[in-house]
Amino acid sequence: MRFILIFIFIFYSFAIYAERELGVDVPGVRIEDRHFKSTASIEQIIKYFRKHGVTSYTLEKFDAPGLRVVNLKSLRKRTRWESINIYSDRRYTYIYVIKRKK
């Protein structure tokens, strides 16, 4: 019984939940307008975006002490989002969706 409870806890702790923002599914919990928080790593979030249809983007990486930053820029002009900033501070990964200017 204890093994089953441990398995369920681990399964739900690694599950990625998504919310929809500007036409893209964002894996995380909304903390502000277009700003999300997740316990997944940056690599897991990029894999999630690739798996869920965000395939046309450029990837820019920036590393600072204690902070990892990735910027995904949309190459499609029809998307409602211009770029997605993903940054991690060792505890959480934050995702910010930037609206496309008209």
Give the pLDDT confidence of 84-102 residue by residue, as tens digits. Answer: 888 888 788 999 999 988 7
The model's pTM is: 0.73
3-state helix/strand/coil string of the chain = CHHHHHHHHHHHHHCCCEEEECCEEEECEEEECCEEEECCCHHHHHHHHHHCCCCCEEEEEEEECCEEEEEEEECCCCCCEEEEEEEECCCCEEEEEEECCC
Per-residue pLDDT reduced to its tens digit, 35-79: 999 988 888 888 888 887 676 666 667 767 778 888 888 887 888
